[in-house]
């Protein structure tokens, strides 16, 4: 029997940097290949958000200006989203979207764009000429990925993010949350927040399956996912590792 899940793509017209919507194509494809129907509903400015309809929220990255617009819109759902997250609602939040989940994003002039406060995370913009940019590789230890223990992608952010939760991974190459503490992203219950664009999921099929399983569970479906032939995906992943001069072996990266 087909298992069905529903994904809310929040403000695709604003939060759409670096092909973040490619994450959805991956979720749909990896679902379809296992008889899991993934329905994506774009939620645009002014649309009502019926949170109870959804099993996964996707927030992409955006510029500071777009982030401020989204913050105003999303604020009325802050309590619902926070409650959903406590009940294990899965969320993938990238860059500007990740910052929005937190308490605030402080701009260089000291003004604060308020976040949803769904997680106790704060972000402050660094100096304008010191953005954290480039390819990035981090560790992965949040689920079964057999011999794959890394996540790769591309980051470009001015914000420096700080929190005391588990990170998505430890930085092997790149900057991560703030360029200082060696953490990249956040994992809290069903939430993955990250600075990794590129988009994240095509080169990291294990992260895509982590989210699919979380969403299936949230909807009350069995979460088993058959293995897929991910040869091309791992080729892309390995290419980034090689670009970053990271050596891999049979047991993945030795860290
Ligand atoms: N505006 C945020 C920053 O520069 C987010 C940028 C992004 O989403 N790539 O920190």
Q: Point out the ligand 1 atom lying closest to the alpha carbon of residue 94.
A: 8
Residue 99 Cα to ligand 1 midpoint, Å, equals: 8
Those residues with Cβ within 8 angstroms of residue 75's Cβ, 6 or more apart along the chain or in another chain: 114, 116
Distance CA 100, CA 206 (A): 25
Atom of ligand 1 nearest to the CA of 156: 9
Query: What does the block give as tokens for 82?
Result: 């926070």
CATH number at residue 159: 3.40.50.880
**Domain housing 193:** 3-254
Task: Tell me, yes or no, if 95 is annotated catalytic.
Answer: yes
pLDDT category of residue 47 using cuts at 50, 70 and 90: very high
- In the reported structure, the alpha carbon of residue 89 is separated from the centroid of ligand 1 by a whole-number distance in angstroms of 24
Q: Which ligand 1 atom sits closest to the C-alpha of 60?
A: 8
pLDDT, mean over the chain:
93
Contact of 27 with 38, CB cutoff 8 Å: yes
Pocket of ligand 1 (CB under 6 A): 17, 61-64, 67, 95-96, 156-159
Does the structure show a pLDDT above 60 at 26? Answer: yes
28 is catalytic: no
If one counts the domains in the chain, the total is 1
Segment 16-40 shows an average pLDDT of 94
The percentage of the chain sitting over the pLDDT mark of 70, rounded to a whole number, equals 96
Q: What is the per-residue pLDDT across 215-248, written as a single tens digit (0 to 9) for each?
A: 999 999 999 999 999 999 999 999 999 999 998 7
Q: Which pLDDT score, from 0 to 100, does residue 27 have?
A: 98
Question: What pLDDT was estimated at residue 145?
Answer: 58
pLDDT confidence of residue 249: 65
Q: Which of these is catalytic: 9, 95, 157, 206?
A: 95
Summarize pLDDT for 97-136 with one digit per residue, the tens.
999 999 999 999 999 999 999 999 999 999 989 999 999 9
Task: Quick: pLDDT tens for 169-186.
Answer: 999 999 999 999 999 999
120 alpha carbon – ligand 1 mean position (Å): 18
Res 18: pLDDT:
83
Candidates 163, 197, 206, 237; catalytic one: 197
The C-alpha angle 83, 93, 138, rounded to 5 degrees, equals: 125
């Amino acid at each position: 029997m087909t298992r069905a899940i529903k994904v809310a793509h929040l403000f695709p017209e604003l939060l759409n940097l670096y092909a973040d919507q490619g994450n959805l194509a991956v979720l749909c494809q990896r679902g379809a290949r296992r008889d899991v129907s993934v329905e994506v509903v774009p939620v645009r400015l002014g649309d009502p958000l019926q949170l109870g309809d959804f099993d996964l929220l996707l927030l992409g990255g955006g510029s500071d200006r777009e982030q401020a617009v989204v913050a105003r819109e999303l604020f009325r759902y802050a309590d619902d989203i926070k409650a959903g997250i406590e009940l294990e609602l899965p969320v993938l939040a990238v860059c500007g979207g990740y910052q929005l989940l937190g308490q605030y994003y402080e701009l260089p002039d000291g003004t604060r764009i308020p976040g949803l406060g769904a997680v106790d995370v704060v972000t402050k913009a660094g100096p304008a000429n010191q953005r954290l940019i480039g390819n990035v590789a981090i560790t992965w230890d949040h689920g079964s990925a057999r011999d794959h223990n890394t996540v790769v992608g591309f980051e470009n952010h001015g914000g420096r993010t700080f929190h005391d939760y588990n990170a998505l991974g430890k930085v092997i190459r790149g900057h991560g949350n703030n360029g200082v503490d060696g953490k990249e992203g956040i994992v809290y219950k069903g939430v993955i927040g990250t600075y990794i664009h590129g988009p994240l999921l095509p080169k990291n099929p294990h992260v895509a399956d982590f989210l699919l399983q979380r969403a299936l569970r949230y909807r009350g479906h069995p979460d088993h996912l058959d293995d897929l032939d991910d040869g091309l995906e791992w080729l892309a992943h390995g290419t980034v590792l090689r670009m970053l001069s990271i050596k891999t072996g049979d047991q993945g990266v030795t860290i």
